[in-house]
Amino acid sequence: HAKKKGCNTICFFEPLLQRRFEERLELQEDLRDAIDKEQLELFYQKQMRVNEQAECMGAEALLRWKHPARGFISPLEFIPLAEEGGYIHLLGEWVLKHALQKLQKWQKDPQKSHWRLSINISAKEFEREDFISNVQKNFNQTPCPPHRLCIELTEGILIQDPEKSIQKILALASMGILFSIDDFGTGYSSLQYLKKLPIQELKIDRCFIQNILEDEQDQILVDTMIGIGKKFNLNVVAEGVETQEQLKKLQSMGCELFQGFLFSKPSPVLSAE
């Protein structure tokens, strides 16, 4: 009887699962064409330094996919599709190319020539053999100062083949490129890399900031992360700052760099442009 029930359950859900699976494949195929069909767009979100005054220090580039039928699809949804489809590097190359073009544009504007631009690189892309040569190729095609580009990596890149990742980061850092650890504190890696890697920045994930006013444990974690950053002489950016009260709290903990809706939402043009 139990077996029969199990079978019924499977039969009941199967069409739904089947449909989900097909939709996923469909999206994955659509995404593969998104570059050629010019459906990708970079949005930019300001990164701020706030002491007595607030000044923009640059921006993070965030990828958007405008699907013809479904409208904007979140990168949280489509980045994994491109990773599974084995073509995340094509999206990554597109992002890098457009990021460097943006940096080149900023270079010509005295008010923005000191801004840096951060891009996100997924582990699957970073692991590729041709990653470094591709970065070099793009700098040749679109010359701009490497120390204005910041690559945001998550701790995940250090799990698969840490030695290889470290070698790559060292090589790119020797070109002048900056490195940031994104979603700091949410990964599974050890803190060993803080000693070994030429990184300039830690980004405290929004999940720690969200309830910072009420949650004492989040306060302890954030305070500790800021402390680690300071002791290692790193920039510490608090992500996802939405209210003045969160800002005040973070400032009282010694944080000076911020990103979040309080200052600007990701947008195709920065308000100062």
**Residue 145 interacts with ligand C2E (CB under 6 A)?**
no
Q: Which is nearer to ligand C2E, 120 or 235 (CB)?
A: 120
Element (H, E) at 36: none
**Residue 255 neighbours by CB under 8 Å, 6+ apart:** 204, 222, 226, 236, 238
Quick one: which of 30, 93, 152, 201 contacts Mg ion (CB under 5 A)? 152
Quick one: which of 24, 66, 75, 128 contacts ligand C2E (CB under 6 A)? 75
Contact between 258 and 247 under an 8 Å Cβ cutoff? The reply is yes
Amino acid at 170: L
**Residue 183 interacts with Mg ion (CB under 5 A)?**
yes
Element (H, E) at 237: strand 235-238
DSSP for 222-247, written as a single string: HHHHHHHHHHTT-EEEE----SHHHH
Quick one: which of 9, 18, 74, 192 contacts ligand C2E (CB under 6 A)? 74
**Residue 246 interacts with ligand C2E (CB under 6 A)?**
no
Residue with tokens 């945001």: 152
Phi, psi of 66 (to 5 degrees): -95, 100
Residues 212-241 that bind Mg ion (CB under 5 A): 239
- For residue 67 the two structure tokens come to 């699907």
Q: Which is nearer to ligand C2E, 182 or 201 (CB)?
A: 182
With CB under 5 A as the rule, give the number of residues binding Mg ion: 5
Please report, as ranges, the residues that interact with ligand C2E according to CB under 6 A. 45, 62-63, 74-76, 79, 95, 120-122, 152, 182-183, 206, 239-242, 259-261, 266
Residues engaged in binding Mg ion (CB under 5 A): 120, 152, 182-183, 239
